[in-house]
Amino acid sequence: MRSLRLLLKLAVITATSRSTQVFYDRVSPFYELVFTDHLPHIRKMAAAVREHFGAECGIKVLDMACGTGALSRRLDEEGFCVIGLDFSFESLRRLNPTTRTIRLIQSDAAALPFSPCCFDVVTCMGAWRHFPEPQRVLDEVRRVLRPGGVFLVGYFPPKLGGVLSIPSGRVGKAVAFFYGRIIRLLSYNDRIDQELERNILRMIDVAFIKYRLIQSHGREYLILAESPR
């Protein structure tokens, strides 16, 4: 019953917010109660970063579009030096009392307020579908990563509203089409079509020397890209 109430509240906020940023500001008080499907991906992403760098110390991580900070906190617990960045002030405000070691910055991912080559890792968990200009975001990721740095983005395929899996085939294409029309009417940016996945893989193939897919949960996966060109 509690889950149903939260989903109904989420639906009302979705229908009345009129922008992605306002939506995340308003949903931040109960975000982590609704989007519990993120947890396996968070564990997998943190494990992938740890596996890649082993016991190295002082690894600097930018958790881009960190939201209320579930991944930021996990990376911080793993011993990484974490900066959490998001455009939602209310999400960052929710994260702030839970940590003293994570630096928080409110900013747009398409214009990162950092000098070049200052991070070993950039993570982006679940937010890629919201970026209206993904190429600009990827260019910024590549700019702030050090030589040999890692970009870890996921999860794919994206879910409808971040909650419901999309069926494959024609039914899935129809769902994505009508969802896209509704979302545009509400002034959101939330892509769930399969072309989103193909686009990010093409862009990463150009921007990084190599990449690989990491199975995360069921048929869902993360992308780990290494060494920006």
Question: What whole-number distance in Å separates Cα of residue 134 and Cα of residue 207?
Answer: 13
Q: What is the largest CA-CA distance in the chain?
A: 50
With respect to residue 28, please indicate whether it lies within any of the assigned structural domains: no
With respect to residue 12, please indicate whether it lies within any of the assigned structural domains: no
Taking the CA atoms of residue 73, residue 37, residue 1 and residue 186 in that order, the dihedral angle to the nearest 10 degrees is 100
Give the range among 17-31, 43-57, 83-97, 208-222 with minimum mean pLDDT.
17-31
With respect to residue 69, please indicate whether it lies within any of the assigned structural domains: yes
Question: What whole-number distance in Å separates Cα of residue 96 and Cα of residue 63?
Answer: 14
Predicted confidence (pLDDT) per residue in 112-131, tens digit: 999 999 999 999 998 999 99
With respect to residue 39, please indicate whether it lies within any of the assigned structural domains: yes
Q: What is the pLDDT of residue 100?
A: 82
With respect to residue 26, please indicate whether it lies within any of the assigned structural domains: no
Residue 162's domain spans which residues?
Answer: 35-228
Q: What's the predicted TM-score (pTM) here?
A: 0.92
With respect to residue 210, please indicate whether it lies within any of the assigned structural domains: yes
Q: What is the pLDDT of residue 16?
A: 83
pLDDT at 197 over 80: yes
Is residue 163 within 8 Å of residue 11, measured between CB atoms?
Answer: no
**Residues paired with 126 in a beta bridge:** none
Residues of the chain with pLDDT > 90: what percent?
A: 58
**Residues paired with 105 in a beta bridge:** 85
Query: In the chain, how many domains are there?
Result: 1
Question: What whole-number distance in Å separates Cα of residue 149 and Cα of residue 208?
Answer: 10
With respect to residue 17, please indicate whether it lies within any of the assigned structural domains: no
Quote the mean pLDDT of the chain.
Answer: 89
Q: What is the pLDDT of residue 124?
A: 97
23: Cα separation from own chain's centroid: 15
Question: What whole-number distance in Å separates Cα of residue 119 and Cα of residue 32?
Answer: 27
With cut-offs at 50, 70 and 90, classify the pLDDT of residue 2: low
Average pLDDT, integer, range 210-222: 93
With respect to residue 78, please indicate whether it lies within any of the assigned structural domains: yes
What CATH number is associated with residue 172? 3.40.50.150
Predicted confidence (pLDDT) per residue in 124-181, tens digit: 998 999 999 999 999 999 999 999 999 999 888 877 766 677 777 787 788 777 777 7
Handedness of CA 213, 216, 220, 225 (dihedral sign): negative
